[in-house]
Structure 1
Amino acid sequence: MTHATIYAWLDLAMQTFAITYVYSENTAALDENRPAHRGFLSGLAAAGMLLASGPVRQSDMTGALIIVQAENAGAAAALLDNDPFFKLGLVLDRAVVEWDIVIGAWASE
């Protein structure tokens, strides 16, 4: 992906948010619903709202980090309200924080 493509994705009027998920320990339900979850996130990416997403693993939990563009934290959370994992109660905790990117390919300046 070129820098021009990245900047086209990043609407400078929008804010960037890092959203973390903590998943349920119900691995069977997570596995069963993962295709729908990833399909949902792929749709947000295709629409230019999701910049990146992927699993995170620690010794005591599993979850995800999702980077989105939205007008505010409430709008960022609302983008993910229809995520199948979230709707099915497979996300035990979700945190939304504004992320001011100052260095790197996604930095606005």
Structure 2
Amino acid sequence: MSLYAVHYTYDERADDRAARRPEHLAHFRALAASGRCPAIGRYGDALQPGALIVLDVDSLDEAEQIVANDPYVLAGLVPERSIREWPAFGAWPARDFPA
């Protein structure tokens, strides 16, 4: 398994994202439950709306497939994204998904 850092850049359609947020979170909750998404979260500043997703999967192809099936991506709400292998080490504390 390898870690991949997925960077999303959002545009101004915050209302559209809010409408799809439950589906988006359900997608990544299922991945978290299977151990394939150890971390996900939107950026906390207002400079450029976006998010960081960490995937723990077998290949770049698998990471790309997961991203392609994200309801945000399927709805065209992620105009820019990148996926990079991330050979990180260390640990961070577990936190629950938001409601």
Equivalent residue, structure 2, for 1:100: 87
Deviations 1:61-107 (A, max 9, x none): 111100001222221111121111000000011101111113x227x
1:90 counterpart SS class: coil
Tell me the number of residue pairs that the alignment of Structure 1 and Structure 2 aligns.
92
Judging by fraction of residues, say which structure has more strand. 1
Equivalent residue, structure 2, for 1:20: 7
TM-score by length of 1: 0.77
Which 5+ residue runs of structure 1 have no aligned equivalent? 1-13
Please say if 1:49 is aligned against 2:32. no
Task: Look at both structures and tell me which one has the larger radius of gyration over its CA atoms.
Answer: 1
Residues 5-84 of structure 1 mapped to structure 2, 5 A cutoff? 14-84=1-71
Give the % identical residues: 34
Which 5+ residue runs of structure 2 have no aligned equivalent? 93-99
- Deviation of the 1:24 alpha carbon: 2.3
Deviations 1:13-34 (A, max 9, x none): x111000101121111011111
- Moved runs in structure 1, 4+ residues, more than 2 A? 57-60
1:80 counterpart SS class: helix
TM-score by length of 2: 0.84
